Amino acid sequence: MNSNQFNFNFRSTRLIFRSKHHIGKVTRSGGRNAAAHRKAKNSPNLLIKRLLFGATVVIGVGIGVLAVASIVVAKNLPNVDSISTYIPAETTKIYSNNNIVLAELHLEENREVIPLENISPFIKQAVLATEDTDFYQHHGINIKGMFRAALKNTFALSFSEGASTLTQQLARNLFLTKKKKLSRKIAEIILAVQIERKYTKNEILEMYLNQVYWGHNSYGIESAAQLYFGKHARDLNLSESAMIIGLLKGPELYSPFRNYSYAKQRQRTVLNRMAKLKVITQEQANNAFIEDLQLAQRKTFRYRAPYFTSYIVNQLYSTYGEESTLTSGMQVYTTLDYELQMLAEEVVKNYVAKSRKPYYGANRAEENYNFSQAALMAVDPTTGYIKALQGGADYKENQYNRCTQARRQPGSTFKPFVYIAALEKGFSPASIVQDSPITFSTSQGPYSPANYTHTYMGNITLRKALENSINVVAVKLNNLVGPENIIRLAHAMGIASPLQAVLSLPLGANEVTMMELVTAYSVIANNGLRNDPTGIIKIQDREGGVLFKHQVHPKRVLDENIAANIVDMMKGVVRYGTGQNANLPRPVAGKTGTTSDYKDAWFLGFVPQLVCATWVGNDDNTPMNKVTGGSVPALMWRDFMKEALKNIPPTDFARSGEITKRADEDATGNASELPQDASSPPPNGTDQSSIDFNTL
């Protein structure tokens, strides 16, 4: 009889071995023996034994399965040693020159990593009381908590409770997904034990507080402290700390910005837990709960000073790459004077708003000035530091930066380069040129430059010709000194855009950017020394190491005497000429510019400490209603500069003994009739005004 047969027969018969004569005889059992057997079979003790045996088998199998699963999971786990070299994504911050935060750049994680000693003791006490009471006693896992959670999960038939220690939570945040399943829990336990062996408790607590999510894209306790209370983590009091730690259960659900009553409930839970553990007294808990909390103002801006800040961000992307910029935690210190920037924004917006207001024109018809955009840029010529940059009327509506991106015809703001070239060729401010009609024979046909008024002044000094922005004189000088020399000079002074050697070059035939013009005018204001505009003073990494520091290295591109003479001539533009609307009760120099059909109007002016450019126009090149550089842009410049210079004492420009003063303008100079040959496209306009300034 095989084993299967034996097992089967055992259930229905029993073998009786009485003597050798009866070996193998099978008989039916019965009588009292059968009754006793049935009683023993149904006894409670046997049932308990069988249950215990079954439980032992199940537990044994479970342990075996867990052991095998643990081995499999452990083989695929990351090395916790990588935490030593792990660099969490940290927010890059951009500051103005007086430490106002202009932007916080980050991907999903807005984080600022800080050491444990810079975290309030109330935060440490609250997180341990609420999240891991036995943190300093266990070795990564809490056995009692795990069994308690296991029972709850068994009855709930789900992973409703995890009983994770802070170390397990750190392991999960650093290495694992948040999906609740058995394999993740096993991995979490293994990693937690390994982390505890590798790092001290304080190191683990510091990593946890800098890693955890606090809601609204804020990661790490410093970011949370700034978000909710506008202060550093080290300065959080008991009430604030309890509320922040209460958010860990559900940062978005319990956010005080979204549901203050829920946040207060969680704060009460944390405070009571701390009191129960005697970390604080119940009286302290009660007082902290009733304390009036002052939440920080929610940040509604992406960037402050957005035209300037986006210009800086693009430079960071270009230098460090987008990902590094958004995750490396750099501290970027810029040149921007935030008060001047606010002033620039106000001036630009005010004048664009005024441009839409109707007024009565010369024929008494209702008109407006018909420009929709304006820009303003101010730079310290002695350093190149950008102090204000407003690239348009409203960044939210249009992000195009008209200070740095737009190439527009500069009109007569290009004329100073012609006069500087003439001074370099031996002319003086008192040199006389004839302002009279002239025609040049060119390959495109005859070219006859015209003055704006179509009137001519005869013999005139260079000084007076610049003051009144006389087109014919500028074109004659261009032809005499050579367009190539003027182009070479303009490039040396900071005009980077390509320039064509044409007769209309002095009238602004070529397109340039506002920043290029500001660079070149800064050379004039700085006595011939060039400092290119810069927006960044210093960049530090997250540890405070210096990645970049701007060094001011001025380069001489104009002779001091030449610079002093052109400054003196440009002072006359503001005092006596087309720029009189920009005049201030202090030494000021500048130049107006207006292009053909009134498509662009400029004013570039300066004092020794500040160069400022203003522009108005339309992005689609629609002509304005007779707006010239001497009208709206000059008025904008004056409104900005009179406020910007309030705390800067009036200072005259550097002078030279060779300056030919305006009093000498009637003296006989190097009068000459210029040759009448060269090539040129049609001329641009010049700078006179028919606008009623009182309506602005």
Query: Active-site residue numbers?
Result: 131, 412
The 3-class secondary structure across 129-149, one letter per residue, is HHHCCCCCCCCCCCHHHHHHH
Enumerate the β-bridge partners of residue 14.
Answer: 27
| Cβ atoms 229, 298 nearer than 8 A | no
Residue 359 is inside which H or E element, if any?
strand 359-360
CA angle 141, 147, 148 (to 5 degrees): 110
**From the CB of residue 534, how many other CB atoms can be counted at a distance below 10 Å?**
16
Q: Who's near 529: CB < 8 A, 6+ residues apart?
A: 523, 554, 555, 556, 557
CA 386 to chain centroid: 17
Two tokens, residue 67: 């052991």
DSSP string of 212-246?
A: SEEETTEESHHHHHHHHHSS-GGG--HHHHHHHHH
Q: Render the burial of 490-516: b for 16+ CB within 10 Å, e for the rest.
A: bbebbbeeebebbbbbbbbbbbbbbbb
Residues in the chain: 696
Which residue shows structure tokens 């991907």? 107
Cα distances (Å, whole numbers) of residue 424 to 236, 427, 502: 66, 7, 20
Q: Who's near 21: CB < 8 A, 6+ residues apart?
A: none
Two tokens, residue 175: 């290495």
- Among 462, 578, 570, 468, which Cα is nearest to 525's? 570
Q: Who's near 189: CB < 8 A, 6+ residues apart?
A: 140, 141, 168
- Distance separating alpha carbons of residues 416 and 413, to the nearest angstrom: 7
SS3 530: strand
SS3 432: strand
- Among 546, 517, 539, which Cα is nearest to 615's? 517
SS3 292: coil
- Distance separating alpha carbons of residues 149 and 156, to the nearest angstrom: 10
- Distance separating alpha carbons of residues 512 and 243, to the nearest angstrom: 56
- Among 72, 630, 537, which Cα is nearest to 331's? 537
Which residue shows structure tokens 């930066």? 401
